[in-house]
Structure 1
Amino acid sequence: MCIYRSPSCEYKDSLHLLNIISDHLGHNLDVYIVGDTNFPGIEWSTTPKSSNKIGTDFINFCDSHQLTQHIKVPTPIGEIIDRNRLEFAGGVDCFQSNILDFLDKKVSEKSFGLMRKSFPEEYLDQIDTLVDVSDFYLNKVDISKIIEVIGLKPVLTHSDLWQSNVMIVKNKLHAIIDWQTVSFGSPAQDIGLLIVSWLSTQDRRQKLDFLLNEYYNTFLDKIKGHPVPYTFEQLKRNYQLLFPVLACMMLPWIIQLSFYVQEKELREYGIEKCVGLMEDVLATHQKNLEDFPKFFEPQ
């Protein structure tokens, strides 16, 4: 059983969710419940406890239904996962606020430190350059101007559309979750975040144009009869300018998950993915400096 409870879920809705789970448990002997309940206030120690009422209710619910919590330690990047960014929902500042969260100095320093520990020595100079590029986008440019530079108007976006917010069942799209950050932003940010977070380096490099083209053609098909807000070329240019930002947003997640994973193959895959993103961030950043000088003018 897969569930998702939004951080903004009201108490009555949380109780309704528990009732749904209870009904399901009544018809099944063996049940695995996976997903995201967003209960950062619960400490899953020997004697679980919560800092709020709904968390306490959830603990009691688990006890009464003989459910066992198997994940009893915070995720490696829990300081990011449980942040509530609802105050930005519906506004053009939402994506930029996400960037500030993801590129938080402490998180970045931890991630880049792990890169230096786990990456081969020949990548150390590139890591140092990547740190500078990440800081550049965090502190020295106005991300909101990306749309203006391409000559676009803001479009409605999910703003947090990476692989953990996409639910796949039997190789088919089942649901897209975590809609509290819906806002107006760049056309390429949703598809770009999916590409950066989901694909291997090889697939991303080889299939980028194909995926952007499929995305654009599907978009055109869905808005038949309505004005087209941007061209395919504008989408590609938007992706190019936005790519270093998206990659720097995702690298802390990928780096830390790769570092803590136990399986050797998964860890090697994660490192390979990080290396590919790092190489492409540095190359794309240089190209952006040449292609979009207006964006990099001092503020």
Structure 2
Amino acid sequence: MDRVLCHGDLWSMNILWEPSKGGLRLGAVIDYQTAHFGCSATDLVRMFSACLSGKERRAHWEELLEEFYGYLKEEVEERKMPYTLEQLKEAYRRYFPIGAFMIVSVLGPLFEVIFRNPDETDKKQVPKFRSLQKIRIELTEFVIELGDGNGENRMFVGRHLLLL
């Protein structure tokens, strides 16, 4: 896989939407401090882990990757694609356990600060934060299940052994 430009912190708080005739459309993606060249799967894992419920993510991850790949293909046009759809799916599957674990460690402290000292903007966002809190709990349970695995479902990612 060729490396591509990645956002590095792609989740709901860094995606701004604006009204359009059909509902909402992407207004902007913000907060590029951690942009880097790497694998698109890292951004997609982070976004799906932080923005979708476990049920939604498990049911739709593959079709969402296929849709993303279609958009990428449109942008690349006649140039060489940086990777195949199968490579993207495999990268997603391999990165998901560590990416989900990393999201859990970020969301917990964020919610603690927001719920302890909410300002007026945060109070309006409480329903969104509650939804994200549910996602954090689901991801935490998933990570715990990885550690409790019976050894039947193991895979190596780099030098690290993961239980799936």
Larger RCO (CA within 8 A; separation ≥ 6): 2
Normalised to the residue count of structure 1, the TM-score between the two structures is 0.42
Normalised to the residue count of structure 2, the TM-score between the two structures is 0.71
Distance 2:145 2:84 in 1: 25
Does structure 2 retain, via aligned residues, the 8 Å contact 1:168–1:175?
yes
Structure that is richer in strand per residue: 2
Distance 2:14 2:138 in 1: 23
Q: Which moved more, 1:217-226 or 1:266-275?
A: 266-275
Given the alignment, which residue of 104, 111, 115 partners 1:261?
Answer: 115
Amino acid at match of 1:295: G
Cα distance change on mapping 1:297 and 1:248 into 2, 3 Å: closer
Distance 2:6 2:128 in 1: 31
Flag the structure with larger Rg.
Answer: 1
RMSD, aligned α-carbons? 3.0
Matches within 5 A, 1:111-150: none
Structure 1 residue 153 displacement after superposition = 2.9
CA deviations 1:151-174 (Å, max 9, x no partner) are x23222122222221111222211
Cα distance change on mapping 1:230 and 1:180 into 2, 3 Å: same
Distance 1:219 1:255 in 2: 32
What secondary structure is seen at the aligned counterpart in 2 of 1:261? Answer: helix
Specify every segment of 5 or more residues in structure 2 that has no aligned partner in the other structure, as ranges: 117-122
Structure 1 residue 267 displacement after superposition = 7.2
Does structure 1 retain, via aligned residues, the 8 Å contact 2:104–2:136?
yes
Aligned residue pairs total: 145
Matched, 1:169 2:11: no
Where does residue 295 of structure 1 map in the other structure? 158
Distance 2:128 2:103 in 1: 17
Distance 1:164 1:214 in 2: 22
CA deviations 1:193-214 (Å, max 9, x no partner) are 1111111222212211111111
Structure 1 residue 185 displacement after superposition = 0.8
Distance 2:106 2:82 in 1: 32
Distance 1:163 1:274 in 2: 13
Matches within 5 A, 1:103-252: 152-170=1-19, 171-252=24-105
Q: Identity of aligned pairs, percent?
A: 28
What secondary structure is seen at the aligned counterpart in 1 of 2:26? Answer: strand
Q: Which moved more, 1:207-216 or 1:271-280?
A: 271-280
Does structure 1 retain, via aligned residues, the 8 Å contact 2:11–2:46?
yes
Structure 1 residue 284 displacement after superposition = 6.2
Specify every segment of 5 or more residues in structure 1 that has no aligned partner in the other structure, as ranges: 1-151
